[in-house]
């Protein structure tokens, strides 16, 4: 089982969702998690302690572990994220330009048949999910 799958299963068992995993130089592992009720510092401590023990048992090598919430500008990583966060303002970047544009910002309408639907200034735009390089919620204050 690969690390992402192991974390996904483990966090789900603890009542959390794996949002993203970053492996940085020097052995730094960053785990971003979420839950419907939000993430507290206590949640991060609980998960960090659990993962530390699990990594020791599973013989997973790392130097430093950081566990945190994804923040207000949460990344949209899985197809389900594009359904769950419909109605939110998002920013996304494409791998390959569409109509000479790689960056889009607008209100997420949802996901339909592998296409992200986005309202950009009153105009409906459909983009292939497979072409999305990065997408994040764009919090409005």
Neighbours of 43 (CB within 10 A): 20
Instruction: Return d(Cα 84, Cα 86) in angstroms, integer.
Output: 6
Q: What is the pTM of this model?
A: 0.83
pLDDT tens-digit series, residues 23-72: 999 999 999 999 989 999 999 999 999 999 999 999 999 999 999 999 99
- 14 lies in a domain? yes
Same domain, 64 and 90: no
Q: What is the CATH number of the domain that holds 39?
A: 3.30.300
Contact (Cβ atoms closer than 8 angstroms) between residue 75 and residue 135: yes
Calculate ∠ Cα 68-8-10, nearest 5°. Answer: 85
Do residue 94 and residue 60 come from a single domain? no
Q: Using an 8 Å Cβ cutoff, are 34 and 17 in contact?
A: yes
**CATH number for 86:** 2.30.30.100
Q: What is d(CA 32, CA 19) in angstroms, rounded to the nearest whole number?
A: 5
**Host domain of residue 101:** 79-137
| Residue 97 shares a structural domain with residue 52 | no
pLDDT tens-digit map of 73-117: 999 999 999 999 999 999 999 999 998 999 999 999 999 999 999
């Amino acid at each position: 089982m690969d690390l992402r799958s192991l974390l996904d299963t483990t966090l789900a068992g603890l009542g959390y969702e794996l949002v993203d995993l970053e492996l940085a130089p020097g052995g730094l592992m960053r785990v971003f998690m979420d839950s419907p009720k939000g993430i507290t510092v206590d949640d991060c401590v609980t998960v960090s302690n659990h993962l530390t023990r699990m990594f020791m048992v599973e013989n997973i090598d790392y130097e430093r572990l950081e566990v945190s919430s994804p923040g207000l500008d949460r990344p949209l990583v899985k197809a389900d994220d594009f359904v769950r966060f419909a109605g939110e303002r998002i920013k996304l970047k494409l791998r390959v330009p569409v109509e000479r544009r790689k960056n889009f910002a607008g209100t997420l309408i949802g996901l339909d048949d592998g296409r992200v639907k986005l309202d950009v200034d009153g105009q409906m735009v459909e983009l292939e999910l497979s072409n999305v390089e990065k997408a994040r919620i764009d919090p409005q204050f």
